[in-house]
Structure 1
Amino acid sequence: MPSITRLSPADHRRVPWKNGGGVTTELAVEPIDGPPDGQGEGGQGRFLWRVSIADVVEPGPFSAFSGYDRLIAVVEGDGMRLSVDGAPPVERRRMEPAFAFPGEAPVWCEPTAGPIRDVNLMLDRASATGNLTLLAGGSHWAAGRAAGDALLVHALAGTLTVTPDGGEALPVPEGHSLLLRAAAALVDVPAGAEGVCAEVWRRRS
């Protein structure tokens, strides 16, 4: 059944990084049934997917998440340089397309010119796949969801408008999110606003 959930900053949860190097703000997370196995941050167990925002103020390693796929993008600051498992460094600037890498790979992150803020989508590799899209002002974006799939729309700046298929337009103020399950939607990003959309598709046997 389609469902829509509003999420405000009061619903966010700040949790320490697994490696102790900082703090992550969880925008939304969907646990996997079963006892905790230590894979999550802040003492939680494994999750199907998670969308979070983190501040990186100095160079350092990323926490390891075995069995997860990760997508990351810079939403504040100049940019960052990522060295993944010995490969040549990759740079990502603010609002550039997300970079994907395996969660278990050793990663060294270095801000290119001062502190940054990034958004992360993490997906349990065995159970889900997904995409992370940054939306600049003056854009429109449409997505359709099937049963078991999820779409999270988060307003980075200004107010976005999300119109579910067959429903009324819903405002998403800055710092707030809208979580849609099994529902198609159109996202309008007015001039001067910015947003991020995380799509999650369950793997089906």
Structure 2
Amino acid sequence: MRKWTKQDYKSMPWKNGGGSTTELAVFPEGASLDQFVWRISTALVSSDGAFSHFARIDRTLAILSGEGMTLHADNDGIAAGAAAPLRVTLTRDSVPYSFSGELPIRAELLDGAVWDLNLMTRRDVCTHYMQRLEAGEHHVVAQDAQQVLLYCAQGSAVLNRDVSLQEADLVLLEEDHERVGVRLVVQASEECLLYLMRISFLNHAGT
């Protein structure tokens, strides 16, 4: 297991230069925006504008604070199988939203700036799934995942009975040689909000 705190994160410009992003973790460690297999970050979105273009990347976005924003794409940005152009409104209560990094998406803020959480994975290497966890005890059996990330967006939690998580902490757990997938127990405080992210590698030969 590996753990990161606020002191470990680094900020950098968005790929399109329209703002800044705080990189929480990247795999492989030290990979650039053109080389990562997966990357998790937060960002302050303070004005309407276009998302960066990421070819061959799948993305999932969650709103951490603020009123929220609407994502939309024109007729050239219709998602596969969709009958109409993309248009979705995300708030802090929304489930994480997944989309293709190639879509020409613009964001319109509902009422002021928002902080968001963003997970990106390289489509030809791995897949991912992000979900919210709130107060209570959660037993997670991620048999299809070789890596699991847990981000504490608010409050505090205890992982596997002995690892304490505070706001903005991130942990990475990996499959070991004795079992398939990743298993964990999370005890979340009453005010806690967590995001659990599963990473599954396409060429994994687990049994």
Q: For this structure pair, what is the TM-score category when the shorter chain's length is used for normalisation?
A: 0.7 to 0.9
1-structure distance, mates of 2:8, 2:63: 22
The aligned residue for residue 193 of structure 1 is 192
The aligned residue for residue 127 of structure 1 is 125
1-structure distance, mates of 2:56, 2:100: 8
Deviation per residue, 1:43-70 (Å, 9 max, x gap): xx31111111111111000000000000
Q: Cα offset for 1:181?
A: 0.9
Percent identical: 29
Q: What TM-score, normalized to structure 1? A: 0.85
Question: Is it true that 1:66 corresponds to 2:55 in the alignment?
Answer: yes
Q: What RMSD in Å do the two structures reach over aligned CA positions?
A: 2.1
Question: Is it true that 1:10 corresponds to 2:7 in the alignment?
Answer: yes
Q: Cα offset for 1:144?
A: 2.7
The aligned residue for residue 202 of structure 1 is 201
Answer yes or no: is the 8 Å Cα contact 2:24–2:40 preserved in 1.
yes
Q: Residue type matched to 2:18 in 1?
A: G
Determine helix, strand or coil for the equivalent of 1:10. Answer: helix
CA gap 1:88/1:70 in 2 versus in 1, 3 angstroms: closer
Q: What TM-score, normalized to structure 2? A: 0.84
| Bigger Cα displacement from structure 2, 87-96 vs 21-30 | 87-96
Determine helix, strand or coil for the equivalent of 2:37. Answer: strand
Answer yes or no: is the 8 Å Cα contact 2:137–2:185 preserved in 1.
no
Task: Give the length in aligned residue pairs.
Answer: 189
Q: Cα offset for 1:157?
A: 1.4
The aligned residue for residue 83 of structure 1 is 72
Q: Residue type matched to 1:10 in 2?
A: Q
Deviation per residue, 1:147-204 (Å, 9 max, x gap): x8211111111111111xxxx4211111211111113112222101111111111112
The aligned residue for residue 181 of structure 1 is 174
Deviation per residue, 1:1-23 (Å, 9 max, x gap): xxx01111111111110111111
The correspondence of residues 36-185 of structure 1 with structure 2, limited to 5 A, is: 40=33, 45-84=34-73, 85=77, 87-138=85-136, 140-144=138-142, 149-163=146-160, 168-182=161-175, 183-185=182-184
Q: Residue type matched to 1:23 in 2?
A: S
Q: Cα offset for 1:112?
A: 1.0
CA gap 1:32/1:157 in 2 versus in 1, 3 angstroms: closer
Q: Residue type matched to 2:105 in 1?
A: V
1-structure distance, mates of 2:147, 2:93: 22
Question: Is it true that 1:26 corresponds to 2:23 in the alignment?
Answer: yes
Q: Cα offset for 1:145?
A: 5.1
